[in-house]
Structures are given as structure tokens and as C-alpha cells.
Amino acid sequence: MELTPKADAMLSPALREFNNYKLSIQNRSQLTVDEYLLDLRIFFKFIKAVRENKPTDGEEFYAISLRDCDFAFMDGVTADEIYDFLSYLRFDRSISARSAQRKLSAVKSLYKFATITGKVKNNPARDIDHSASKKTLPKFMTLNESEDLLNSINEEKENKTKLRDYAIILTFLNTGMRLSELVSINMEDFDRDMTSLVVTGKRSKQRTVYINDAVKDAILNYRDSLNEEQRAVSDEKSKSRHPVFISNRNTRISNKTVQWLVHKHLINAGLGYKQLSTHKLRHTAATLMYREGGVDVRVLQDILGHEQLNTTQIYTHVASSDMEDAVHRNPLANFKPSDDKKDG
């Protein structure tokens, strides 16, 4: 029997005690506490998903168990992970700043309870104020780092899935697709010239995604490398649709496999320290289009499939290094007043 979200949250030992504390000691209403529990359920699942290299959306995400989310688990959470959670809420789940603030309040309340009662020693949420839910910027790779990643894959000699992996990561970096969108692509989704395709995003909304020659060539090179049986692999629900990217078991590639291969190639390219993932490749694509390509923010909104412009506008703030560089390039940047003393 499938658990309700509240029942799922109550599987966590820490959340069970938090629930009892709020109800009995602080005399909060059950409705208020339930809202806290649902927000904290997402928080715990996100932390576990990132640590275990699992998808951060879809059925696999919600199936993550909370049974081991006790106070020892809480003690190991870092402030950086909380900032990543806020970034995930804003840019992957496209929720409002107000909703992100509410979830941050839940996290802060949980840690306040845990530290006051001596359940945990570390409170990573203590110094995170509510403005963080508005100002959190997405993690991304620079242009040079993106090129290093692609070159690293292309230079591998003993990787049977090199062409597939290269095509997947190049598609992420050029289109900004979501993970769920990329794994769902079928060959039939492309137009005749293979310059665009239709993807199905959040809430089953469809949009057109345009692809450039680099992506087109990478996908065609990968498909040409497949044998006849592999090219004939069809969707489980519709035999007339053929997945673009397939697994070693001749099935549609899974979210988990893509998460794993992205993680592997980031490490191989020396970028493992950045703690990037598939959804951060989406951020990289958006940032590169805005910073390097000069793409208008409203066009970027349509490319990414954002419902609200304010979700996309975060990418207008990631160019702080460019602004800093511009200041240093000012002709007066090295100006010093003359030491000469003049009469009068």
C-alpha cells in the first residue's frame, strides 16, 4: 500500500519527535505541523538523492526512504547542502521565493528544536537568513570547464558508451533540457531536418526545443554506431516510438543511469569537486547562453520552459564576475592623483 506524504514523513525518527514536540510542548495546530512535515520530507529526500546520486524528481525521488533520517543524519548535514536545497527549489521545482522561505523556516525550526533538546550538536541552518531563499544562485560550469568535460569524454579510448555519453552531455549543455525531458526523447519527436524537437516538460506541457549542428551531429554519430537491434528498440507503451538514448540492456535509458554517467564523467574531467549533477548542467546551459551568447532573458525563459520570468531572471545575476572584470577594465581603473603641486 502506497504511503500518504504525511505517513511517509513520519517514517523519519527525527520528524516523529519533531511532530510530538510541536504539538505537545509548543501547542501548535496539527495543520501547521503537517505543513512543516511535508516541507521537511522534501528536504530530507533531496539531501539523500544528491548524496546517493539519484534523481531529484519523479517516482524514484519520492520512493526514497526516510527511515534512516534520524538525528545522526541531521548532524551530518552542511550549510552548503541547505543552500543547494534552496537553489533546487527555485530553479528545478520553479517554486516562488515565498514558498522557498516557508521551507527554509521548516528546516530552521527543526534544527532549533534538535539543538535546544540536545539531539544534535551542529546547526547548519543557524546562520542562513531568509533572504537566502531569494538570493541563492545556481551552481554551474564555466565555458572552459564545459569544454574540458566534453573533451575528456571524447578522448576516452576504452568506453563503449562514449558516443552516447558525449551526445547526452552535449545535449544538456546546448539545450538546457531537464533530465526527465532528455530521457523521454524519441526519434519521432524530431522534425524532418532534425533542427528541432518537441519535449514534454513539467505538468505535461509541451514545448519546441531547437538543436544546433553540434547536437545533431553527436546524436546521429551515436545512432549510426548502433546495430540494427539497438536502433529498433521501441518504447514499452508505443512500439512506433523509438527512444533516442538506450541502455546497455537495450531499453530506454533511465534517469538513474544518466545521473550516474554524468557523475562519472565529471570526476574523470577533474570536476568532481564542484558537486555538479544533471540539473546543474541545465543551469550551465542557461548561464552560457546568457553570459556568452547574449540570449535575451525572455527567449531564455521559453528555451528552459519556465512559467514565470522571475525564475529565469536569476541568470541575469550570475554575471557578477563579468561586472567585476568590466570595472577593472575601466580606463580610470589605475588612475592615481598626480604628486605635482601646482601654484594657486
Task: Identify the CA nearest to 205 among candidates 172, 188, 180, 169.
Answer: 180
Tally of CB atoms within 10 A around 212: 11
Query: Are residues 114 and 189 part of one domain?
Result: no
Examine the domain organization and report whether 220 and 284 are in the same domain.
yes
Are residue 211 and residue 266 in the same domain, yes or no? yes
Q: pTM (2 decimals)?
A: 0.61
Domain boundary among 93, 113, 134: 134
Closest CA to 84 of 117, 121, 43: 43
User: Any idea what the CATH number is for the domain that residue 237 is in?
Assistant: 1.10.443.10
Based on the domain organization, do 123 and 216 belong to the same domain? no
The CATH number linked to 83 is: 1.10.150.130
Q: Which sign does the torsion angle of CA 288, 293, 298, 299 carry?
A: negative
Residues labelled as active-site residues: 178, 202, 279, 282, 306, 315
Per the structure block, which three cell numbers stand in for 123? 546547526
Is 172 within a domain? yes
With cut-offs at 50, 70 and 90, classify the pLDDT of residue 328: low
Burial class (CB within 10 angstroms; exposed 0-12, middle 13-18, buried 19+) of 2? exposed
In a domain, 331, yes or no: no
Q: What is the pLDDT of residue 344?
A: 46
Residue 71 belongs to some domain of the structure: yes
Kindly state whether residue 336 falls inside one of the protein's structural domains.
no
**Whole-angstrom distance, CA of residue 326 vs CA of residue 314:** 20
- pLDDT computed for residue 136 by the predictor: 59
Which of 35-39, 136-140, 170-174, 215-219 has the least mean pLDDT?
136-140
Asked if 37 and 161 sit in the same domain, the reply is: no
Tell me, what's the pLDDT at 318? 58
Residues 63 and 193 in one domain: no
C-alpha 325/C-alpha 344 separation (Å) is 39
pLDDT in tens, 97-135: 788 889 999 999 999 999 999 999 889 998 887 665 555
Counting the structural domains of the chain, the total is 2
What DSSP line would sit under 15-38, residue for residue?
Answer: HHHHHHIIIIIS---HHHHHHHHH
Domain that holds residue 95: 5-134
Q: With a cut of 90, say whether residue 225 has pLDDT above it.
A: yes
The CA-atom distances, in angstroms, between 147 and each of 44, 142, 150, 154, 234 are: 34, 9, 5, 10, 33
- 86 and 216 belong to one structural domain: no
- Together in a domain, 177 and 259: yes
Same domain, 172 and 89: no
Clarify whether residues 113 and 255 are in a common domain. no
Among 93, 112, 134, residue at a domain's last position: 134
Q: Evaluate whether residue 332 is within a structural domain.
A: no
Q: Is residue 171 part of a domain?
A: yes
Same domain, 189 and 275: yes
Whether residues 178 and 302 fall in one domain: yes
| Residue 337 within any structural domain of the chain | no
Domain boundary among 116, 134, 152: 134
340 in any annotated domain: no
